[in-house]
Chains A and B, each alone.
Chain A
């Protein structure tokens, strides 16, 4: 029963072939043995694109929009990949988002609480952050230095105490000047990093 019809009466179908329109003895197209080609040949070439002011303007709008979206804070850049070796440029170039904060300020009342993330505050100028600390350090240093100098003065008190005092004042000022210029030098370097 399973083998009936095989070999005999090849090409018989379950329905009346004439009804669909294939006449008797007509050659059917060859059977398809492979998937259709990836770029089939086009019999009819496509109609050319529309042109005109409107079309040009919308094209420009589209490209502008694409470019603008890339620079908006909504574009979430992938996290910086883990580096294998510490590279020289890492000291001077900021690669990728530094922390898990977002740059825009959504209205947290309209988002579920579980999504709350830190919002990256506007970066202040680095030197202004750096200087107070360094000033404090230096002031502390200065205090120590002044103390040391006075201790030295005590030791070397003598007839030339007054001169020493003057010269110590001068050296103190000189030292102070050196210190501040060093500080501003550092400040200069800090601002060039930014």
Chain B
């Protein structure tokens, strides 16, 4: 685990679970598998507290345990699952768009509790719904219509329980399926922005058809024939078969290479090249990072190097059509930031400097990995800044909360307008301004975290598919 990841995990655990859980969790992340007594002695926390922390961590699937061959239990932490915390709002929002309010509440409950029994979840969600709907009377719904394969995955043991009929059956959120969905969304929007709406609809249909047939790490979807695609198109789209064929040919010939033609049976077999799609998305992310940080000319050099793989200094200047001095300057800046690397190609066996080629190149996988670490550091900085801002204004926040509570209680007991106004004036105008600024800053920092997480997702998916391919 890198330092940036550990720092981010520590901040997330501390924010959501408190300091004791954070201490125990970080210790496990840093040192790998450990038995209970070692954790107690190394972290210096009392045994009871460590037990509490471990129970919480195991409940939320951040830590797993296994029996060591010497007979004691060892605990192991999984930091990648802690980092998923940043994506929880996205999961909940997607559940809402796909399955409505009930889906949203279900996913939220299961995410907050790690894993739960179905009866428990259903009861809690129905309670929340009755609260908000004020007696519309939604009783304990059977969640049959909500057990989508997407959101839940069953645990193995089925034992006879005490009171609840489904004791021993626990449900948790299937993150892989959500990730597939996000990946599909990203591909469809990329096609829509590059080509047009219809082609994106075709790609979306193809992805939907291969949802259940392809595993999450697959390189290609299953080949689909053009006839199948035509039948599966949504009813709103009245394009003829010929037009569909033309679109498919267009997609297959596009230099993006998202869609490839794998055969001619059934009117043409087409598959979506998931690995290439993710690679182009990651590449586009890298290019846009270079563009925003170093300017469009540096971005031109970067794209050139991505295209032509290896180039000499002179060739870079010529192809990019940038004057030599500036091109050199930009190349060195990129080199110092490790976005571009040098490759030595000796002409003679004795690597003499005057007789070797020095070629500039961009290595996408290491660069993506480096950018991912930078994302972790960015989010850690954002969280720290937000905590700092809140701590600075703690007194003011507490005061405003108390005043709100007073106003609410007075309104409940029926107070005059003048009294309420008097109490509201207890917060002076500059204080109000300060509160407003604080709120705006905190919102901005939170929104930035969400946005950085989107970039993180694309880079992580790219790295995952490349590793599984290699």
Interface residues of chain A, those whose CB is within 8 Å of chain B, are 13-16, 19-22, 43-44, 46-47, 49-50, 54-55, 57-59, 61-63, 65-66, 68-70, 72, 74-79, 100, 102, 106-107, 109-112, 114-117
B95 to chain A, nearest CB (A): 11
Q: Is the CB of A109 within 8 A of B55?
A: no
Q: List 22 A-B contacts (CB under 8 A).
A: A15-B356, A19-B313, A19-B356, A44-B293, A44-B295, A50-B447, A58-B89, A59-B450, A62-B449, A63-B446, A68-B112, A69-B16, A74-B60, A76-B18, A76-B21, A76-B56, A79-B46, A102-B55, A109-B159, A112-B73, A114-B73, A115-B36
Q: Count A/B pairs, Cβ under 8 Å.
A: 132
A114 to chain B, nearest CB (A): 6
Q: Is the CB of A115 within 8 A of B56?
A: no
Which of chain A's residues has its CB closest to B15's CB?
A66
Collect the chain A residues with CB atoms within 8 Å of residue B443's CB: 59
Q: Is the CB of A106 within 8 A of B59?
A: yes
Partner of B353, one of A14, A43, A50: A14
Interchain CA distance A123-B42 in the complex, whole Å: 35
Which of chain A's residues has its CB closest to B324's CB?
A21
Q: What is the size, in residues, of chain B's interface with A at 8 Å between Cβ atoms?
A: 59
A175 to chain B, nearest CB (A): 42
Collect the chain B residues with CB atoms within 8 Å of residue A112's CB: 65, 73
Collect the chain B residues with CB atoms within 8 Å of residue A43's CB: 294-295
A79 to chain B, nearest CB (A): 7
Partner of B18, one of A15, A78, A106, A109: A78
Interface of B, helix, strand, loop or mixed by DSSP = helix
A184 to chain B, nearest CB (A): 28
Asked if A62 meets B18 with Cβ closer than 8 Å, knowing A72-B112, A74-B60, A114-B36, the reply is no
Interchain CA distance A43-B447 in the complex, whole Å: 23
Most buried by A among B16, B60, B324, B357: B16
Q: Is the CB of A117 within 8 A of B55?
A: yes
Interchain CA distance A109-B443 in the complex, whole Å: 42
B325 to chain A, nearest CB (A): 9
Q: Is the CB of B89 within 8 A of A54?
A: no
Which of chain B's residues has its CB closest to A54's CB?
B93
- Contact code string B351-378 (vs A, CB < 8 Å = 1, else 0): 0011011100000000000000000000
Interchain CA distance A78-B22 in the complex, whole Å: 11
Interchain CA distance A184-B113 in the complex, whole Å: 42
Collect the chain B residues with CB atoms within 8 Å of residue A68's CB: 112
Which of chain B's residues has its CB closest to A20's CB?
B358
Q: Is the CB of A55 within 8 A of B447?
A: yes
Q: Is the CB of A75 within 8 A of B88?
A: no
Is B152 at the interface (CB under 8 A from chain A)? Answer: no
Interchain CA distance A21-B323 in the complex, whole Å: 13
Is B444 at the interface (CB under 8 A from chain A)? Answer: yes
Q: Is the CB of B292 within 8 A of A61?
A: no
Interchain CA distance A74-B292 in the complex, whole Å: 41
Which of chain A's residues has its CB closest to B16's CB?
A69
Is B48 at the interface (CB under 8 A from chain A)? Answer: yes
Interchain CA distance A102-B46 in the complex, whole Å: 15
Partner of B447, one of A19, A49, A115: A49
Partner of A65, one of B89, B293, B444, B451: B89
Is B49 at the interface (CB under 8 A from chain A)? Answer: yes
Collect the chain A residues with CB atoms within 8 Å of residue B49's CB: 76, 79, 100
Collect the chain A residues with CB atoms within 8 Å of residue B292's CB: 44, 46-47
Q: Is the CB of A21 within 8 A of B328?
A: yes
Collect the chain B residues with CB atoms within 8 Å of residue A111's CB: 55, 58, 65
Most buried by A among B114, B294, B447, B448: B447
